[in-house]
Structure 1
Amino acid sequence: MSTRPFSADYWSAVEVIGPDQARAMQESRLAEQLAYLAANSEFYRAKFAEHSVNIDRVTTLDHLADLPFTEKQELRDSLAEHPPLGSHVAAPMSEIVQIQASSGTTGSPSYVGLTESDITIWSELGARALYANGFRPGDRMLHGFGMSKGFVGGLPVVQIARHMGIVDIPIGAEAGAERLLRVQADQRPEALIGTPNFLAYLAEQAPDIVGVPAAELGVRSISVGGEPGGGLPAIRDKLQSLWGGTSREMLGGTDLGCIYWGECEAGEGMHFHSPDLIIAEIIDPADGQVLAPAAGVEGEVVYTALGRRASPLLRFRTRDHVVVTATDCACGRTGYKVRCVGRTDDMLIVRGINVFPSAVKQLVEEMAPLTTGHIRIRPDFEGHSTQRPLPVVAEVADAVDPARHPEVKAAIEDRIRSALNIKADVELIGEGTLKRPDHVKVAPVERDAGAAAQ
């Protein structure tokens, strides 16, 4: 794979091939990937047997819809039952050179193994997206995603930058606004990457920390991801006004790659750049039926890896909801464009970290007998993303001396911070205060802070 742009306009020639050529390429590589799974993945051999899948009959992309989905819970179970990388690992451990971790929103992270060739694929996927975002070989990039805990926003982004010939300055969001802004002021990197809300916050601190507006710090191109909304006009305009550079959106994830959708200069949605390396389907989440990409179509994205060795996935349900914004573009790229509009679950995003309410609940439950395990998350923000601590209400057990309540509050907050890498603001309430679930599921997220269920 090339480590140079194919042209001044695109990183890879694949980005501008026609639909017939893309389809033929995908069908050939799908057959190869299915054969590889059948030969090397215990998980998929069992799945094929359970669903009576004959891979020899999968000869076109239309047949892909007949294959079963891979659900996130299946991967969690696989990892728990067959450590360290689950029964879905399909390469010998001797070939695995890197392991990435998810944010652990169920209490324990998901782990994804990578061979050298897998790292190359991840880097190529990301290069196509970041090139569309405006990043160029020779740039220097300030790294505003988290660099800790094995998240894909850390080392894999460094590897993408190297693949592109970009110099990454891996400071990381954990370093805080003062450190990041001092480095930006000293080094003047042209490129900046991170979550949109954090980068906006960073820019707002610039006058107080370095004495000048962020727009005077030399940023030319901004790439934002890790939370939905980076492509919305209001957020884009705010970032561009604050930093004085162009801001474009990208999208990816731990299970399939790091970054594999990227917005071009048209600013009308993120292109699908890599039909040679991933098959992306859009399905109706209600019935699982495949929807043909067309402007205005909305659904859940399902991915199948192509050419992957260590942790390849087939028809993986992301629960990410997208809307197709266009199927052509003035930039010449032929991949359709989308915006991510949310998820099918209750996921919240705290300073760029994905957080499921069930993960918070599990952590509090594990603190029994100090707590009852019953919680509510009561967001004090619109939407599902915040830069502030997450408001959590937790029941303290009656047997706990009130004098110990501050200690319990601090212990819960420390536990959430350690396990999930986020800050929480915990309010303790008495045992039995919160409504218990009966035949109706009790939502763990209460948007009306004044409506505590009694």
Structure 2
Amino acid sequence: MRPYSATLWNEIEAAPPDEARRVQDRQVREQIAYLAAHSAFYRAKFTEHGVDPDAVRGTDDLAGLPFTEKQELRDSLAAHPPLGSHVAAEPDEIVQIQASSGTTGSPSYVGLTAGDVQVWCELGARALYANGFRPGDRLLHGFGMSKGFVGGLPVVQIAQYMGIVDIPVGAEAGAERLLRVAADQAPNALIGTPHFLAYLAEQAPAIVGRPARELNVRTISVGGEPGGGMPTVRENLEALWGATSREMLGGTDIACTYWGECAEAAGMHFLSPDLMVAELIDPDTGDRVEPVEGASGELVYTALQRRASPLLRFRTRDHVVVTGTDCRCGRTGYKVRCVGRTDDMLIVRGINVFPSAVKDLVNGMRPEATGEMRIRPDFDGHSTQKPLPVVVEHAAGLDAERQEALRRTVFDRVRSALNISTTVELVPEGTLKRPDHVKVALVERLSS
């Protein structure tokens, strides 16, 4: 495959909104008809909710259809192994199965036909091209390569589809192996979670005898956890690596990656009206929210041109803020920043708090703080009337007076920015577990 232009992978990314909507409406009609014909799961949902598939004529009609919840997929997989009643392709059509992390039980399994793999590659190519990856690049693969994670093989497939050389070492190999490969192979592109890639760069002088910014990396794509688009995280990564850092977003159930931030670094673009529908909803009411600048809500997806494990109005629990609706890059899809998951959100004395927001503030307290922090709730559930317990790592060699100043700074900045009180515990540098191929857990609930 070849890119459409120097800035766009596919011309649909810059399509006028009316044209993009016409394409999307046609694909919605075709996908609904496919579900009605091939998915026992969705035929049952249509019957239960009184849905006439023939009456769905376009994207606007999706608002009247039921959501698909993650628990429904878990139940479907358990009752109808191996791929659930929501599988909609014949077994001999399925060429690949991917899995979620399974942090809350058994993984979710997603089947792919050869056509589905092609769609995943096209979605990913648009996102990574926006991030700055180009055909001919050499990519050091810093996502996990094991356990069927979508950051593994699918990223390799996307890179090959784009004409990029992927070096699939994987985060499980550890910092020493990754950095030695970086020193030997001089890749000019790097992909992984933002906090792991920052940790990797910090280890470079000790492992390969030179700073990460001397290892030839030109551009970085980060995802897999919220925070990659936060100014403090981005600036730290770019300073460490001497490269541009841009954010992307995806998810196992829909595809590997499908939102991508362009060179303007002002949020991730919606890039694929022909391959998916991305709705913004109020997480409490389920009502649609217009994606205008400043709006916030939960992302809900409908996969288009999807065969093996199609999803209709799938609730992701990813909470985003719309950062803009136009861009100098020419892309016409609105832009978002992911601030966390609605089911990870904490409520402190009635105020919604995303852990990533606290992390961003602590990142801005270097060099007194290392940037590592954890929230350790002393309450059950997600709501408390007490101050929020926060553990912050202080830099090595910080004397008692400066530690106390740091403690006050954490308290004051969190209260000023988020309007909540905290109890701040400082711990020495190196106390908190560093990120690896497993996503950083900013909230640690200690066993009783």
Task: Give 2:255's aligned amino acid.
Answer: G
1:99 to 1:380, Cα distance in 2 relative to 1, 3 A: farther
Task: Give 1:270's aligned amino acid.
Answer: M
CA shift digits 1:106-138 (9 cap, x unpaired): 221000000000000000000000000000000
CA contact (8 A) 1:198 1:387 kept: no
* 2:265 equivalent to 1:267: yes
* 2:302 equivalent to 1:309: no
For structure 1, list consecutive stretches of 5 or more residues without a partner in the other structure.
350-356, 362-377, 391-416, 425-443
1:387 Cα deviation from its structure 2 partner: 10
Q: Kindly report the root-mean-square deviation, in angstroms, between the aligned alpha carbons of the 2 structures.
A: 2.5
1:303 Cα deviation from its structure 2 partner: 0.2
Aligned residue runs from structure 1 range 34-433, under 5 A = 34-346=32-344, 380=391, 388-389=432-433
Structure 1 SS opposite 2:339: strand
CA contact (8 A) 2:195 2:440 kept: no
CA contact (8 A) 2:204 2:212 kept: yes
1:96 Cα deviation from its structure 2 partner: 0.3
C-alpha distance in structure 2 between counterparts of 1:422 and 1:299, whole Å: 23
1:60 Cα deviation from its structure 2 partner: 2.8
1:345 Cα deviation from its structure 2 partner: 1.1
CA contact (8 A) 1:248 1:267 kept: yes
CA shift digits 1:306-325 (9 cap, x unpaired): 00000010000000000000
CA contact (8 A) 1:139 1:167 kept: yes
1:328 to 1:164, Cα distance in 2 relative to 1, 3 A: same
C-alpha distance in structure 2 between counterparts of 1:151 and 1:89, whole Å: 19
Q: For residue 20 of structure 1, what is the aligned residue in structure 2?
A: 18
1:81 Cα deviation from its structure 2 partner: 0.4
Alignment length, in residue pairs?
Answer: 372
CA contact (8 A) 1:141 1:166 kept: yes
CA contact (8 A) 2:194 2:222 kept: yes
CA contact (8 A) 1:197 1:387 kept: no
Task: Give 2:70's aligned amino acid.
Answer: K
C-alpha distance in structure 2 between counterparts of 1:379 and 1:125, whole Å: 38
1:387 to 1:215, Cα distance in 2 relative to 1, 3 A: farther
1:388 Cα deviation from its structure 2 partner: 4.4
Percent identical among aligned pairs is 70
1:214 Cα deviation from its structure 2 partner: 0.2
Provide TM-score, normalisation by structure 2: 0.79
For structure 2, list consecutive stretches of 5 or more residues without a partner in the other structure.
346-354, 357-375, 381-388, 394-413, 415-429
Structure 1 SS opposite 2:190: strand
1:77 Cα deviation from its structure 2 partner: 0.2
CA contact (8 A) 2:29 2:57 kept: yes
Provide TM-score, normalisation by structure 1: 0.78
Q: For residue 408 of structure 1, what is the aligned residue in structure 2?
A: none
C-alpha distance in structure 2 between counterparts of 1:445 and 1:327, whole Å: 36
CA shift digits 1:267-301 (9 cap, x unpaired): 00000000000000000011111111100000000
1:224 to 1:387, Cα distance in 2 relative to 1, 3 A: farther
C-alpha distance in structure 2 between counterparts of 1:445 and 1:269, whole Å: 28
Q: For residue 363 of structure 2, what is the aligned residue in structure 1?
A: none
C-alpha distance in structure 1 between counterparts of 2:439 and 2:293, whole Å: 37
Structure 1 SS opposite 2:300: strand
C-alpha distance in structure 2 between counterparts of 1:445 and 1:137, whole Å: 41
1:171 to 1:245, Cα distance in 2 relative to 1, 3 A: same
CA contact (8 A) 2:144 2:438 kept: no
Task: Give 1:173's aligned amino acid.
Answer: A
